[in-house]
Chain A
Amino acid sequence: MSLEPTEFMSKMVSRIGFSADDRKVLQSTADWGLEIAPEMADYFYEYLGRDAEMSAILNESEGRIHRLRETFVAWFHEMFTGMDDWGDAYAERRWRIGLIHVRIGIGPQHVVPAMAVVVHEAGKRAIADGKDQQLRDALAKICMVDLAFIEQAYIEVTSAAVLKETGWSEGLFRRLIATGAGAM
Chain B
Amino acid sequence: MAISTEKLTSILQNFVTSTTDIQGAAVVTPDGLPLAATLPGGMDEERVSAMSAAMLSLGERIGSELARGGIDRIFVEGDKGYGILTSCGEDAVFLVLADKAAKQGLLMLEIKRTLADLKAVLM
Interface of A is mostly: helix
Residues of A within 8 A of B61 (CB): 165-167
Considering only residues 49-68 of chain B, those with a C-beta below 8 Å from chain A are 50-51, 53-54, 57-58, 60-61, 64
Q: Verify if B27 is at the interface (C-beta below 8 Å from A).
A: no
Q: Is A169 an interface residue (CB 8 A)?
A: yes
**Which of the candidate stretches A46-54, A72-80, A84-92, A171-179 sits at the interface with the other chain?**
A171-179
Tell me the nearest residue of chain B to A167, going by C-beta.
Answer: B61
Task: From A168, A171, A175, give the contact of B58 (CB < 8 A).
Answer: A168
B77 contacts A by Cβ under 8 Å: no
Q: Which residues of B contact A166 (CB under 8 A)?
A: 54, 57-58, 61
Range of interface residues on B (Cβ < 8 Å): 10 to 19
Most buried by B among A166, A172, A176: A172
When distances are taken between beta carbons in the complex, the residues of chain A under 8 Å from B57 are 166-169, 172
Given A167-B60, A167-B61: A172 in contact with B54 (beta carbons within 8 A): yes
Q: Which residue of B lies closest to A164 (CB)?
A: B61
Residue of B31, B44, B51, B58 near A167 (CB, 8 A) is: B58
A123 to B5, CA, bound (A): 60
| Given A166-B54, A168-B54, residue A175 in contact with residue B33 (CB < 8 A) | yes
Chain B residues lying within 8 Å of A176, measured Cβ to Cβ, are 32, 50-51, 54
Please measure, in the bound complex, the distance between the C-alpha atom of A165 and the C-alpha atom of B60, giving whole angstroms: 11
B46 adjacent to chain A (CB < 8 Å): yes
Determine the chain B residues whose CB is within 8 A of the CB of A175 once the complex forms. 31-33, 46, 50
A158 to B36, CA, bound (A): 32
Q: Are A172 and B58 CB-contacts (below 8 A) given A179-B47, A179-B50?
A: no
Contact check: which of A165, A172, A183 meets B53 at CB < 8 Å? A172
B32 with A171: CB separation less than 8 A: yes
The A143-184 residues at the B interface (CB cut-off 8 A) are: 165-169, 171-172, 175-176, 179, 183
What is B's interface to A at a CB cutoff of 8 Å?
30-33, 44, 46-47, 50-51, 53-54, 57-58, 60-61, 64
Give me 17 A-to-B residue pairs in the complex whose CB atoms sit less than 8 angstroms apart, sorted by A's number.
A166-B57, A166-B58, A167-B61, A168-B53, A168-B58, A169-B57, A171-B31, A171-B33, A172-B31, A172-B57, A175-B31, A175-B33, A175-B46, A175-B50, A176-B51, A179-B47, A179-B50
- Closest A-B pairs by Cβ, 6 of them: A171-B31, A167-B61, A172-B32, A175-B32, A175-B50, A167-B57
Told that A169-B31, A172-B30 touch, could you supply 16 new A-B pairs with CB distance under 8 A? A165-B61, A166-B57, A167-B57, A168-B53, A168-B57, A172-B31, A172-B32, A175-B31, A175-B32, A175-B33, A175-B50, A176-B50, A176-B51, A176-B54, A179-B46, A179-B47
